[in-house]
Chains A and B, each alone.
Chain A
Amino acid sequence: AQTVTQSQPEMSVQEAETVTLSCTYDTSESDYYLFWYKQPPSRQMILVIRQEAYKQQNATENRFSVNFQKAAKSFSLKISDSQLGDAAMYFCAYRSARAGANSKLTFGKGITLSVRP
């Protein structure tokens, strides 16, 4: 079974600074996806960024980028130029990429990010 671990329950960052959120995972599969989701107080989970395990290049979406270390099973999220609107809970998640596999997501416990003005 796959597991996802987010060991930091809370982090804080100054507006306009950079922050890195950590995530590790465990799997015996070689083909999978990793995700970071943002959950603001509205409760709606919003996809921030996605990484395919077969791609060596780290995914980037505007101010958001990941550091994917497959051998170490590490998947951290870097938020650059932090904005007040980035304050939310962030969840790391895993999904198998095997064709026909159950496409359920396995989530970490999340991290609460606060942004100081």
Chain B
Amino acid sequence: GAGVSQSPSNKVTEKGKDVELRCDPISGHTALYWYRQSLGQGLEFLIYFQGNSAPDKSGLPSDRFSAERTGGSVSTLTIQRTQQEDSAVYLCASSSARLGYHTEAFFGQGTRLTVV
């Protein structure tokens, strides 16, 4: 597609339920990143994919968070047993890489998750 696409745009869920957030990166971009933006905070890195593998998942806050990427394209971030502190905007970004060097990261519009 023309840009990074994220769905849903907004999600309200009840505490304890599982949610899945989807990211469709720019076609051909091998790198994909998930960030979390909590109110009043900057963007917090969650996980980085290169192709289908995740060489850096150091930002995932707990084992309730997981992510996968299939076909080197679409990625899904799953939050199990959601808690109120999970409420945030979840942003996805993608970039391409040549010879180990990455281009600029392009961001989607994010998913605003509200846990009630």
- Residues of A at under 8 Å CB distance from B? 4, 6, 37, 42-47, 50, 91, 93, 95, 97, 99-100, 102-110
Contact = CB atoms under 8 A, between A and B. Distances in A.
B12 interface: no
A104 B54 CA distance: 12
Given A42-B109, A43-B89, A103 B43 contact: no
Interface residues of B, number: 28
A91 B42 CA distance: 8
Contacts of A106: 45
B48 A103 contact: yes
B56 A107 contact: no
**8 smallest beta-carbon distances between A and B, as pairs:** A103-B102, A99-B100, A45-B107, A109-B42, A107-B42, A100-B100, A107-B43, A43-B110
Nearest to A47: B104
Contacts of B41: 109
19 contacts: A4-B42, A6-B42, A43-B109, A43-B110, A45-B91, A45-B93, A47-B104, A50-B104, A97-B101, A99-B101, A102-B56, A103-B102, A104-B45, A104-B56, A105-B35, A105-B43, A107-B44, A109-B40, A109-B41
A108 B109 CA distance: 19
Nearest to B111: A43
A105 B105 contact: yes
Given A50-B104, A102-B56, A103-B102, A91 B43 contact: yes
The CB with the most chain B CB atoms within 10 A, among A45, A99, A105, A106, is that of A45
